[in-house]
Amino acid sequence: MTMPSSSSEMEKSQSVAESTQKVDEIFYNKEYITLGDRTYRRSDLLTALGSDLSNNNSTDAYPKDQSRFRKLGNPVPLGLASFSLSCMTLSLVNANVRGVTNVKLLISLFMFFGGAIELFAGLLCFVTGDTYAMTVFSSFGGFWISWGCINTDQFHSISGYGENSVMLDNAIGFFLAGWTVFTFLMLMCTLKSSWGLFLLLTFLDLTFLMLCIGSFINNNNVKMAGGYFGILSSCCGWYSLYCMVVNDDNSYFSFRATMMPNAPIV
């Protein structure tokens, strides 16, 4: 064993012990905190110790970094529900299932559930920071509202063309062509997502394409093909919706969405 070589080392160790004891003496008020013989600004010290402590001890009525502790619901399933139901019903009419070709009864569904609710879901995605979902849902919310207005007599969108059915078909073709391009661009952003979302937009793009071509050439069989693709798209939407809302707490039949190759692992 080695003893301290001089009294200076003993004094140094004694001073360290005294300084350690001084740290236990904490004095603070609203703005400053004193630790031993040093005084710190309260906000700077709490920031250095971590934002969690800063939030828990803040005297502000509205803490600055409280948003990440607030649990928000996921608005994506709402958008998928709105889209899938509206797409399913419209596609059944486009496919002439059971001889139904008139969409008048479904206009309220297109404008309120397919349009307003989906637009609302897109705006909620803005709150959660999901730029892609915000763009897709808000855009298709606008589509459903527009499609409902086109088929509403008060807007005279169809009757305004009078007997010129060829111009009407071409105008509808232009409308659907624009949505074909938009859907394709959104489809390219799902190549590393789930198979359900990828197939939803794939079949939806084919739906717009078939309806667009059918309008340009005035061929009902091509439009019916678009209706069948729309039914497949809505089924993929139902699948994606179920995967997002089901869990072990609410169902015995819970499963995860199947991801595409090279999808990022979260």
CA 23 from chain center: how many Å? 49
**How crowded is residue 36: how many other Cβ atoms within 10 Å of its Cβ?**
15
Residues 159-213 have pLDDT tens digits of 999 999 999 999 999 999 999 999 999 999 999 999 999 999 999 999 999 999 9
Contact (CB, 8 A) for 53 and 46? yes
3-state DSSP assignment of residue 47:
helix
Q: Which residue is listed with tokens 């409902």?
A: 148
Contact (CB, 8 A) for 263 and 197? no
Q: What is the pTM of this model?
A: 0.73
Tens-of-pLDDT digits for all 266 residues of the chain? 444 455 555 555 555 455 545 445 665 555 667 776 677 666 666 677 664 444 444 444 444 454 455 678 899 999 999 999 999 999 999 999 999 999 999 999 999 999 999 999 999 999 999 999 999 999 999 999 999 999 999 999 999 999 999 999 999 999 999 999 999 999 999 999 999 999 999 999 999 999 999 999 999 999 999 999 999 999 999 999 999 999 888 999 988 888 888 877 54
Domain boundaries, the chain: 11-69, 76-245
Contact (CB, 8 A) for 209 and 253? no
Distances (CA, A) of 104 to 95, 121, 222: 16, 25, 22
**How crowded is residue 73: how many other Cβ atoms within 10 Å of its Cβ?**
9
Task: Give the per-residue pLDDT at 60.
Answer: 45
Token reading at 15:
């001073």
Residues 235-256 have pLDDT tens digits of 999 999 999 999 888 999 988 8
Contact (CB, 8 A) for 45 and 33? yes
Instruction: Give dist(CA 180, CA 128) in Å, integer.
Output: 27
Using CA atoms in the order 107, 112, 117, 120, what is the torsion angle rounded to 10 degrees? Answer: 120
Using CA atoms in the order 92, 94, 99, 101, what is the torsion angle rounded to 10 degrees? Answer: 120
Using CA atoms in the order 117, 113, 235, 242, what is the torsion angle rounded to 10 degrees? Answer: 50
Task: Give the per-residue pLDDT at 54.
Answer: 43
Tell me how far apart the terminal alpha carbons of the chain are, to the nearest angstrom.
56
Q: Supply the Cα-derived Rg of the chain in whole angstroms.
A: 31
